[in-house]
Structure formats: structure tokens, C-alpha cells
Amino acid sequence: MRHNTSAIVLCLLAVCFISTPVRAAMPTTTRPTTQRLPREQWGAPLVEVSHRGKIWQIKGKKQRVTFNAGDFWTQVQAGGVTWQMRPSSPRDMLIKVGEEEYPVSLNNPGRIEVTPYDTGYKTGIKIVLTGFEHADSLRLFLTLALEGKDEDLCFDVAAEENGATVPFQHSGIRSLEFT
């Protein structure tokens, strides 16, 4: 009898093993679906960026920014208030190469490239300036964006100097150096 009991247990184990779905042990080929949350649910500003020619618009729910890539004139509208910033001038900044300083205009490098810019927490435009006279390898990266739910207006500047120094001169300020 003992022999038959062992055979029955083995048969039951075999039936259980065979009846277990094989696909459970195999990797699935379906990919998990990723749900995209609306921008406002994760703190991103609801901002649209558009342009017509050299005129760029950054439109949020609370603010609107207009930027002219031709002369760098900028206008900000917030509520019932409008601020207009002066266009670029021949002495926007100084480029220092070696011991020599050269005044330059932001809107007069060899190349100006404006593109939409969206980090997820701020949205606007990125402006890349290259090909400056006396400092051809200098690259400036400017961003103009509305940040967060309050749509704070942010200007960022970064320089890839490559041997040049950029002490900024704007409205008489000459003490800022980026190296």
C-alpha cells in the first residue's frame, strides 16, 4: 500500500504542475502604460510659446512676454501693468580677450538662434549667441521663461567663454564677471 500512496502523491504533484499556466513563468511582452499627468498637476506652468518671424511670444495665464530677436526689445504684460525694456545697444557688454576689452551688442554676434525652452518647471525661449567679433569661440546662452504656477519671469545667462572673459556692462554696471 505504501507504494501506491507514493505513486498517488507523485501523480497529484504532476497534475498540479502540468495544470499551472506556463505563461505565468514566461516574461510578458506587453509594456506597462504610462499615464501623462496634465502639466498643472505636477507644478508646470501653463505657458504657450510661439513666434512669427523674429517676434516671440511667451503667453501664460497671468503674464505675457514679447521678445524681438532682431533688436532684443522686450515687453512684459502682467495684469494691467506693462513694462518695456530697451532694445540692445552697441555697448551691452564687454568682451575681454587677453588684456583688451571690446564693447559688443547682444543683437550683433555672428549668429543668433532662438528656440522654445521647456524644463518642466519653466517654459519660454532659449537664445544662443555665437560668433562674436574678437571672440569667435565665445557662446552665450540666455533664457527668458515663466516659472512655476505663479509664472515668475526668469532671465538666465550662461557663458562658454573659451578664453574670453565676459564682464557684463548694462546700465553702468561693470562689476559682474562670469568665468
7-38 pLDDT tens trace:
443 343 344 444 444 444 445 555 666 767 77
How large is the average pLDDT for residues 34-57?
84
Which pLDDT band, with edges at 50, 70 and 90, does 68 fall under?
A: very high
Q: How many domains does the chain have?
A: 1
Which domain, by its residues, includes 136? 45-178
pLDDT at 110: 87
- Average pLDDT score over residue span 88-109: 85
Greater confidence (27 vs 107) lies with 107
pLDDT at 63 over 70: yes
pLDDT at residue 167, rounded to an integer: 64
- 93 within domain boundaries: yes
Whether 32 is covered by a domain: the verdict is: no
Length of the chain in residues, anyone? 179
| Residue 154 maps to a domain | yes
- To which residue does cell 533688436 refer? 71
Which amino acid belongs to residue 108? N
Alpha carbon separation from 38 to 42, 46, 98, 123 (Å, rounded) = 7, 10, 51, 15
Model pLDDT, residue 45: 79
How are strands ordered across the β-sheet holding 111-118?
Answer: 111-118, 122-132, 135-147, 152-160
Q: Give the pLDDT mean for 102-122.
A: 90
- For residue 21, tell me if it sits in a domain: no
- Structural domain includes residue 65: yes
Whether residue 172 is contained in a domain is answered as: yes
CA distance 146 to 61: 10
Q: Which residue has the higher pLDDT, 93 or 4?
A: 93
Q: What's the whole-number average pLDDT of the chain? A: 78
Regarding predicted confidence, which is higher, 91 or 39?
Answer: 91
User: Higher confidence at residue 164 or residue 19?
Assistant: 164
Chain segment 124-163, per-residue pLDDT in tens = 999 999 998 888 888 999 999 999 888 999 999 888 888 7
pTM to 2 decimals?
0.71
What pLDDT is recorded for position 56? 98
Quick one: pLDDT band at residue 58, thresholds 50, 70, 90? very high
Residue 77 domain flag: yes
Answer yes or no: is 97 within a domain: yes
